[in-house]
Amino acid sequence: MKSQLKNTQQLNDTLTDLSFTQSFLEASIDKYAYALFGQLFIGNKDSYSDFQRKLNQARIPLSHDVYLSRVLFYSIFSLIVGTLVSIIVPLIIQNYAVYLFEGIPGMETVSTAVSIKPVVVVGLISFLIFGLGGFITTFVGFILSPMYIANERKRKININLPFATTFMYAMSRGSVTIIDVIEAVAEAEDTYGQVSVEFQSIANSIHYSTNDLRSAIKNEIEITPSAKLSELLEDLLNIIDTGSDMDTFFLHRSETYIEESKEEQKQILDQLEVLSEVYIVLFVASPIFVLVINVVMLFLGASNGNILYALAYLAIPLGGGVFTAIVWIISESQTGSISQLDNTDDHIFTTNSYDSEAAKEDKRYSQYKKQKRRKWLKQGLVNSYKTTIERPVYTFIFTIPAAIAAVVFLQENTIAELTHSGFIQHPEVNSLYLLYIPSLIAMIPFVILYELQQRNKKVVLRRIPEAFSTAAESNSQGLMLSDSFDVVAKNSTDYLSSKLQVAINESRWTNSFERALIRFANELEVSRLSRTIKLITKANKLTGDIQGVVKIAAKDVKLMAELDAERVEQSYMQIIVIFVSYLISVCIIVSLNITFIQMLGDSAFQTGSGELDTLGGINSGILQEINLILLHIAMALGVTSGIVGSTMANNDPLKGIKFALILSGIGLFAFLII
């Protein structure tokens, strides 16, 4: 009885709390769901302890009983909706499908079958798909969602933890307490992502509850999804208890994570090497094998061209996309991008300081408004140009319509024919004018601007270690931080130095070097530079050892640059293997077309007295179809090889567009030559 009263009291308390923790709609649904199903999950908390831990790790602010009540409510709702759909769908099919198929040649059998099909059978199938399927999908999706979110947070924490540890090491070198270090990391969510979210939990626990530092860290150890962060916090507790040197601890951890990063990179490179071999087997050797087998079966009359069509237009493009995603996910496990650095002071608020009504009565006011509109239009055009340069993807707004216009022009002037029969009769010419040239029109402006942007980023990445080493040396000789970076800007004339000089000039006008550096990092959009700038600007506020911090930043970026150089050096061999394999596959496809298909086609027309135009069930139209499919297989393999190879080397599929255009062009021109 006491247990039941306790559960009832807990139920009422939870219903009251929900209104304060969620939006009105969510709270209303959860209160209703909890009132219906809450009693099912209140008791026996030990059975749900693991699930509650996943909810905490996913940062879902609900207890297990509330969340499971929500899951059951939405699942039953999906079941009801699916059941209604399963009732409506058979009625629609029964009443209207007959009229849809009526009068269509070849569909009389379907029309008759639908008209006599029992509604019960169709309803049962619909219920299994929409009703039961909706219930299972909703239930499983909600149950797995916290696990997926927790695992994703774990991955992001592990990516940023080495950088955050270096940040903490730099902060601890001055007269900064451990609480100040924790708060500094907590405030740097724009740089360290989910690591900062975990440290926000510690900081909030200290400031807004009765927990002390040790209790707050212990609580975080229990709920963090990352074993690496949990281990770091446990060791940090030992350091706090024993009073050991904080600098030495963070330095050792930072060096340990660097070594782990090197080992992880070696493992990733080994995985990419295996994937490159898998790609060659799946997307080079296998298509050739399937191609040869099906062509032979076609000539024997034992197959049709559907398998070849599926290979060219479905299997290779979709398979290439999936393979690219797999490579990107594996490579992304070691790299991380960050958002724009927070620069809350970067705003100027202005208000009208004149009487607007009196101004309107002035004769010069209309002229002023016209000049203002012209200036606004001019700035809009200039800003659009700058935005397109900074965001190359915006070029598609102009190039895709231009590519479509080119296709329409070629079609209207009978230069090319955008029909299936036209492609079969003239596969090379139509593919050139209707596929390849429009692709060049759509992609080349993007490729040029994107490559220029990436080249500038390469200059930045290459120059960062040297630049910060020079700044550290200048700062150690007594120069101020801004003057140290001024020395860096004046020692070179490259892209990084020019942008840095702009930031220094801005700092002199605004008297805020920190704000100028953050704008500088946000404009360049290089993650490594943004982390380093965040480290320096934060240290400039908190610690007195700015010289040591700059040296730490210089050492850190140098180690990261060495890791990048090692990856690029080892991955380029994999690209060469993929590209050479593609060229070999093109040679095989072209040879198959010349020595086998065209030869059989010629022999078919030369048999007898001209009355026989087939050989083994193959006519000239199918021979032309095979020629078209071979060409498009070669072009599709070129596109996938270019994008996959670039993703393996640079973890950037967009960089592979230029390789895709080049390789697919090689395949096309090989067919044009023959």
pLDDT, tens digit, for every residue of 30-58?
A: 788 888 887 888 777 778 888 888 888 88
pLDDT exceeds cutoff 60 at 255: yes
Q: Determine contact, residues 607/573, Cβ cutoff 8 Å.
A: no
Please tell me the predicted confidence (pLDDT) of residue 337. 58
pLDDT exceeds cutoff 70 at 97: no
Mean pLDDT of 529-542: 80
Least Cα distance to 425 among 634, 586, 631, 611 occurs for 631
CA 219/CA 239 separation, integer angstroms: 17
Mean pLDDT of 165-180: 82
Q: Which two tokens stand for residue 176?
A: 């900064």
Question: Which residue intervals of 478-619 are DSSP H helices?
Answer: 481-490, 495-510, 513-524, 527-542, 546-592, 598-605
Q: Supply the mean pLDDT for the chain.
A: 78
Query: Percentage of the chain with pLDDT > 90?
Result: 13
pLDDT band at 266, cuts 50/70/90? confident
Mean pLDDT of 4-26: 52
CA 582/CA 643 separation, integer angstroms: 12
CA 429/CA 545 separation, integer angstroms: 68
pLDDT band at 114, cuts 50/70/90? very low
CA angle 509, 514, 518 (to 5 degrees): 100
Which has the minimum average pLDDT: 408-422, 491-505, 509-523, 608-622?
A: 608-622
pLDDT band at 448, cuts 50/70/90? very high
Mean pLDDT of 4-29: 55
Q: Determine contact, residues 396/439, Cβ cutoff 8 Å.
A: no
**Which residues, in sequence order, are CB contacts of 461 under 8 Å at separation 6+?**
526, 528, 561, 564
Mean pLDDT of 426-431: 88
pLDDT band at 601, cuts 50/70/90? low
pLDDT exceeds cutoff 50 at 379: yes
Per-residue model confidence as pLDDT tens digits over 333-356: 555 555 567 665 544 433 444 445
pLDDT band at 20, cuts 50/70/90? very low
pLDDT exceeds cutoff 60 at 626: yes
Instruction: Choose the most confident range, by mean pLDDT, from 125-139, 335-349, 393-407.
Output: 393-407
Which has the minimum average pLDDT: 16-20, 82-86, 480-484, 527-531?
A: 16-20
Q: Residue 618's beta-bridge partner residues? A: 615
Q: Determine contact, residues 481/540, Cβ cutoff 8 Å.
A: yes
Number of H helices, E strands in the chain: 30, 0
CA 489/CA 470 separation, integer angstroms: 10
Per-residue model confidence as pLDDT tens digits over 483-497: 888 888 888 777 888
Please tell me the predicted confidence (pLDDT) of residue 353. 43
pLDDT band at 375, cuts 50/70/90? low
Mean pLDDT of 424-428: 86
Q: Residue 615's beta-bridge partner residues? A: 618
Please tell me the predicted confidence (pLDDT) of residue 664. 93
Which has the minimum average pLDDT: 180-194, 200-214, 256-270, 297-311?
A: 297-311
pLDDT band at 444, cuts 50/70/90? very high
pLDDT exceeds cutoff 60 at 542: yes
Bigger pLDDT: 53 vs 2: 53
Mean pLDDT of 545-563: 77
pLDDT exceeds cutoff 60 at 674: yes
Q: Is the dihedral of CA 149, 155, 160, 165 positive or negative?
A: positive
CA 436/CA 454 separation, integer angstroms: 25
Q: Determine contact, residues 434/416, Cβ cutoff 8 Å.
A: yes
pLDDT exceeds cutoff 70 at 526: yes
pLDDT exceeds cutoff 60 at 615: no
Please tell me the predicted confidence (pLDDT) of residue 441. 94
pLDDT exceeds cutoff 70 at 573: yes
pLDDT band at 380, cuts 50/70/90? low
pLDDT exceeds cutoff 50 at 272: yes
Which has the minimum average pLDDT: 86-100, 281-295, 417-431?
A: 86-100
Q: Which two tokens stand for residue 351?
A: 């208000």
Q: Is the dihedral of CA 314, 320, 326, 329 positive or negative?
A: negative
Q: What is the DSSP string of 435-486?
A: IIHHHHHHHHHHHHHHHHHHHHHHHHHHHHHHHHHHHHHHHHTT--HHHHHH
CA 388/CA 172 separation, integer angstroms: 43
Bigger pLDDT: 172 vs 654: 654
Q: Determine contact, residues 128/199, Cβ cutoff 8 Å.
A: no
pLDDT exceeds cutoff 80 at 360: no
pLDDT band at 65, cuts 50/70/90? confident
Which has the minimum average pLDDT: 12-26, 460-474, 619-633?
A: 12-26
Per-residue model confidence as pLDDT tens digits over 652-671: 888 899 999 999 999 999 98
pLDDT exceeds cutoff 90 at 404: yes
**Which residues, in sequence order, are CB contacts of 54 under 8 Å at separation 6+?**
146, 147, 150
Secondary structure class of 618 (helix, strand, coil): strand
Long-range contacts at 408-417 (CB < 8 A, ≥ 24 apart): 410/434
pLDDT exceeds cutoff 60 at 260: yes
CA angle 301, 307, 313 (to 5 degrees): 140
Q: What is the distance in angstroms between the CA of the first residue and the CA of the last residue of the chain?
A: 90
Please tell me the predicted confidence (pLDDT) of residue 609. 42
pLDDT exceeds cutoff 80 at 109: no
CA 68/CA 632 separation, integer angstroms: 51
Give the position of tokens 């002023």.
Answer: 368
Please tell me the predicted confidence (pLDDT) of residue 111. 45
**Which residues, in sequence order, are CB contacts of 653 under 8 Å at separation 6+?**
324, 328, 643, 646, 647
pLDDT exceeds cutoff 80 at 248: yes
Q: Output the CA–CA distances (angstroms, integers) from residue 237 to 219, 510, 626, 668, in the order listed.
A: 12, 42, 70, 65
